[in-house]
A and B are shown apart, each in its own frame.
Chain A
Amino acid sequence: MIEFKNLHKRFGKLTVLDGLDLAIDKGGIFAILGPNGSGKTTLIKCLLGMVIPNKGEILFNDKSVLRKWNYRNNLNYLPQIANFPPNLTVSELIKMVKNLRPKASNESEMIQLFGLQPFLNKKLGNLSGGTKQKVNIVLTFMFDSDLIILDEPTTGLDPIALIYLKDLIQKEKSKGKTIIITTHIMSVVDELADEIVFLLDGKIYFKGSIEALKEQTQNNNLEHAIANLISKQYA
């Protein structure tokens, strides 16, 4: 479904992606992991067309995405930081994003799920960080798309919202969708991910199931297995 071919990206002297090759098949939950600054967000932003790679090719449903914009109608993205125009209300924001995408949406169901009704007519500037993140999640999940990209989705959520979010992700997966998550919270990975992609020095260091990772690092605990992978970088 998605294919990165020989992807290079440099910011000044800093090489972030260094000839990265990765193929992601349709269906399932993929966790992109790696130490800070390993290029997780850059990789995702390349796919979204926000970062323009120096070299390489990205295919989405067998079509190149570089310098295109139409393909984005078929993916949902949850940005890392939720920050919205402070003087718009929640319902205006939802209307605006709906306006930008010519497809059906089920926002009322999502609003109900995350208990956002009392906030609909409040200005976004007056909402707390967690509530903004809930709005962010509603904006992401209200469209029906084949690919869902979540960048640190758990930031600032209360435990109940976190449970709802996990259910939501599982539900989308059961519909045959592809979900890409980056996170530093290993319990989320352990619970949700079908496959792990581990980035190091701008390349794929490991790709496979959680079991395979545990086996390779001979560690039964995912957190330690990942720490084991990262520690090789410092060695």
Chain B
Amino acid sequence: MLKILKYSFYDLMRSRWSYVYFIFYLILGFVLLFLNNDVDKAVITLMNIIIVLTPLIGTIFGVMYYYNSREFTELLLAQPIKRRKIFIGQYLGISISLSLSLVLGLGIPFITYGLFRSTAIFDFGLLLVVGSFLNFIFVALSYNIALSTENKIKGFGYAILMWLFFAVVYDGVFLISLVLFNDYPLDKFSLITTMLNPIDLSRILILLKLDISALLGYTGAVFRKFFGTNMGMFLSMSVLTCWILIPVLTMNKKLKKKDF
């Protein structure tokens, strides 16, 4: 597995898109910090970008990598190595290289800004952790889609729809249902619905840490009331971990029956 991981990581780190992604975050970080001069605001703006963008990029990279390396995967499948190891290796290769672009791209401007000496370092660290979580989650989800769809165009379409659903549609449906069922107690409902969407969960996780009540919204407030800040953070971290583990397990299950 590590051998496959190593080479797909090498391959991806040298690809033009990794650089573009890295430079994008680099510029974003510099602009937000040095033109804004307010670390808290910068972190919030970054959060809004990261929780939408990392899932999108993870999804696209995952599907693209799977379909582009299909023939090479066939060659690997003919080698004396277990199927699972090939795909887990590729999966980790993509996720780690994307996370590295994120961490380095934002980390460099923050270090030059002198963030190590401020208290915002924890908020910022959490931002990077959550971004990496989202990378791992959405690459796994898109790999699942690619594995079950032979047709490249369809696979791409489903993957984008999946992203659109979690990033946009889900919130809309959630809000409508809150309005519709206004007369009922909605605490538990909203808690559970938030857990079922990794993007919402990440948003609440960061807002809990930043401690900005105005931005928490209804679910965030319920979340804090229910679990308190520390318990809430611990819980949302564990749910995010489940969001990685479950797609990886289903990927594994799909692999056992798949024909190449």
Residues of A within 8 A of B (CB): 11, 45, 48-52, 69-73, 75, 77, 79, 81-88, 92, 96-97, 99-101, 123, 136, 139
Q: Is the CB of A81 within 8 A of B260?
A: no
Q: Is the CB of B80 within 8 A of A83?
A: no
Please tell me if B38 contacts chain A, counting CB pairs below 8 Å: no
Q: Is the CB of B80 within 8 A of A77?
A: no
Q: Is the CB of B80 within 8 A of A85?
A: no
Contact of B7 among A50, A85, A86, A136 (CB under 8 A): A85
Query: Can you identify 11 A-B contacts, CB atoms within 8 angstroms?
Result: A50-B78, A69-B80, A69-B83, A72-B80, A73-B80, A82-B71, A86-B15, A99-B3, A100-B79, A101-B79, A139-B75
Contact of A49 among B10, B69, B77 (CB under 8 A): B77
Please tell me if B74 contacts chain A, counting CB pairs below 8 Å: yes
Q: Is the CB of B80 within 8 A of A11?
A: no
A11–B259 alpha-carbon span in the complex (Å): 9
Most chain-A Cβ atoms within 10 A of its Cβ — which of B14, B76, B82? B14
Write out, one digit per residue, whether chain B residues 239-260 have a CB within 8 A of any chain A CB (1) or not (0).
Answer: 0000000000000000001111
Q: Is the CB of B81 within 8 A of A69?
A: yes
Q: Is the interface of B mostly helix, strand, loop or mixed?
A: helix
Q: Is the CB of A77 within 8 A of B75?
A: yes
Residues of B within 8 A of A (CB): 3, 7-8, 10-12, 14-15, 69-72, 74-83, 257-260
Q: Is the CB of B77 within 8 A of A88?
A: no
Q: Is the CB of B259 within 8 A of A51?
A: yes
New A-B pairs, 14, CB < 8 Å, besides A72-B81, A83-B72, A100-B79 = A11-B259, A45-B259, A50-B74, A50-B77, A50-B259, A51-B259, A69-B83, A70-B80, A79-B78, A85-B8, A85-B72, A86-B11, A88-B10, A99-B3
Closest residue of chain A to B13 (Cβ to Cβ) is: A87
B-chain residues with CB within 8 Å of residue A92 when the two chains form the complex: 7, 10
A159 to chain B, nearest CB (A): 25
B-chain residues with CB within 8 Å of residue A88 when the two chains form the complex: 7, 10-11, 14
| With contact pairs A69-B81, A69-B82, A83-B71 given, residues A96 and B259 touching in the complex (Cβ less than 8 Å) | no
A84–B71 alpha-carbon span in the complex (Å): 7
Q: Is the CB of B77 within 8 A of A48?
A: yes
Q: Is the CB of A87 within 8 A of B75?
A: no
A181 to chain B, nearest CB (A): 15
B-chain residues with CB within 8 Å of residue A82 when the two chains form the complex: 71
A-chain residues with CB within 8 Å of residue B12 when the two chains form the complex: 87
Contact of B260 among A11, A50, A69, A77 (CB under 8 A): A50
Q: Is the CB of B11 within 8 A of A85?
A: yes
A208–B15 alpha-carbon span in the complex (Å): 50
Closest residue of chain B to A93 (Cβ to Cβ) is: B7
A154–B68 alpha-carbon span in the complex (Å): 23
B175 to chain A, nearest CB (A): 41
B-chain residues with CB within 8 Å of residue A83 when the two chains form the complex: 69-72
Q: Is the CB of B79 within 8 A of A97?
A: yes
A88–B4 alpha-carbon span in the complex (Å): 13
